[in-house]
């Protein structure tokens, strides 16, 4: 199967960045977006432990310099990724979220952890348990059978199988939310 492309490929223009900057500064006058503000902006109530953990993982994945805040440039990169990012970029980002220990490889615990959270958040009804889904992911992606999935295996395998890509490409539905809600906050 070929590469699936979602979203639009158009570039963000200067006027959009200026509008985004104004909105960002209105929401975050300090110029720094903290986790609690991130949750508030995206309407996450953290009513469940899974939602709180997932939101924190997403936030940390965008915090490139690991200072526990998103500056405007990190925020723009995040918005660009979720609204217009190419499939491979979204998969790289998803890999980063899955890779909790940041060692560049995914083990069964990391995959199962995120799959379990996704199942609970999306209330996925399937005949497979998160453990069985994890086993199938490893069966399809772990090409060298070393018990770990590298970034290359992750990207290549996801692009070959729609079932895998639907599971691995984190769908935070931010595109829809952002288009519907962000402009109301400006």
Question: 99 Cβ partners below 8 Å, 6+ apart?
Answer: 105, 106, 110
Within a domain: residue 1?
no
Number of structural domains found in the chain: 1
The CATH number of the domain where 35 resides is what?
1.10.238.10
What is the token pair recorded at 168?
Answer: 């691995």
In a domain, 151, yes or no: yes
Q: pTM here?
A: 0.75
Is the pLDDT higher at 103 or at 168? 103
Radius of gyration of the chain (CA): 17
Q: What is the rounded distance in angstroms from the CA atom of residue 149 to the CA atom of residue 161?
A: 16
More confident position, 101 or 42? 101
If you ran DSSP here, which 8-state letter would residue 82 be given?
A: H
Does some domain include residue 6? no
Question: Would residue 107 count as lying in a domain?
Answer: yes
Asked whether residue 116 is domain-assigned, the answer is yes
In a domain, 2, yes or no: no
Confidence class for position 42, pLDDT limits 50, 70, 90 = low
Which tokens hold the place of 60? 């940390």
The vertex-109 CA angle with 104 and 110, nearest 5°, equals: 40
Residue 133: inside a domain: yes
pLDDT above 50: residue 7: no
What would the mean pLDDT of 39-50 be, rounded to a whole number?
70
| Alpha helices (H) in 63-129, listed in sequence order | 72-84, 87-98, 108-122
In a domain, 176, yes or no: yes
| Residue 4 pLDDT | 38
Query: 121: domain range?
Result: 14-185
Distance CA 127, CA 122 (A): 15
Whether the predicted pLDDT of 186 surpasses 50: no
Q: Are the CB atoms for 87 and 169 separated by under 8 Å? A: yes
Distance CA 181, CA 154 (A): 32
């Amino acid at each position: 199967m070929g590469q699936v492309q979602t979203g639009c490929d158009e570039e963000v223009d200067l006027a959009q960045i200026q509008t985004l900057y104004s909105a960002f500064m209105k929401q975050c006058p300090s110029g720094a977006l903290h986790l609690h503000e991130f949750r508030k902006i995206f309407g996450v109530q953290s009513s469940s432990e899974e939602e709180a953990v997932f939101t924190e993982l997403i936030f940390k994945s965008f915090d490139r310099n690991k200072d526990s805040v998103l500056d405007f440039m990190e925020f723009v990169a995040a918005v660009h990724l979720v609204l217009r990012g190419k499939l491979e970029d979204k998969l790289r980002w998803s890999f980063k979220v899955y890779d909790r220990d940041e060692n560049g490889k995914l083990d069964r615990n990391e995959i199962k952890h995120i799959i379990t959270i996704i199942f609970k958040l999306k209330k996925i009804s399937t005949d497979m348990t998160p453990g069985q889904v994890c086993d199938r992911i490893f069966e399809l992606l772990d090409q060298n059978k070393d018990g770990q999935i590298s970034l290359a295996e992750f990207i290549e395998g996801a692009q070959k199988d729609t079932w895998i890509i639907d599971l691995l490409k984190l769908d935070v539905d931010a595109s829809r939310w952002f288009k519907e809600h962000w402009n109301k906050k400006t």
